[in-house]
């Protein structure tokens, strides 16, 4: 049986999702809704095997153990603690992660 993790979005991650939606919606509201739904599916797929995704390169500088899942041009930055996954940020791949 697969181990299940509880997936939690931080306030920053929730704000990030909202910004993604409004950024895309400025051009096409239908695409924005579809894209955010797909992005959320990816986020909640982390309820199984969250360690399957790589550690982020920034860990070397921040001394963290964050991982990321890349979906299209966005990075879902998260941390696994016990039986929980905490989604820290959802940022465009060209942006620099700030902790």
Give the predicted TM-score (pTM) of the model.
0.90
Structural domain includes residue 29: yes
pLDDT at res. 59: 87
**Whole-angstrom Cα distance, residue 23 to residue 79?**
26
Q: CA dihedral defined by 41, 98, 84, 49, rounded to 10 degrees?
A: 60
pLDDT at res. 98: 67
Q: Is 3 helix (H, G, I), strand (E, B) or coil?
A: coil
CATH of the domain at 78: 3.30.2310.20
pLDDT at res. 99: 59
Domain count, the chain: 1
Structural domain includes residue 48: yes
Q: Is 69 helix (H, G, I), strand (E, B) or coil?
A: strand
Structural domain includes residue 57: yes
Strand partners, 16: none
Structural domain includes residue 99: no
Give residue-wise pLDDT tens across range 78-92. Answer: 999 999 999 999 999
Domain that holds residue 39: 6-92
Give residue-wise pLDDT tens across range 40-74. Answer: 999 999 999 999 999 998 888 888 999 999 999 99
């Amino acid at each position: 049986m697969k181990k299940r993790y509880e997936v939690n979005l931080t306030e920053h991650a929730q704000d990030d999702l909202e910004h993604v939606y409004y950024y895309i919606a400025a051009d096409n509201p239908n695409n924005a809704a579809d894209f955010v739904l797909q992005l959320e599916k990816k986020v909640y797929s982390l309820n199984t095997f969250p360690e399957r995704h790589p550690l982020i390169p920034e860990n070397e500088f921040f001394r963290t153990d964050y991982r990321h899942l890349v979906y299209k041009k966005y990075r879902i930055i998260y941390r696994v603690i016990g039986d929980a996954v905490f989604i820290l940020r959802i940022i465009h791949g060209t942006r620099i992660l700030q902790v």
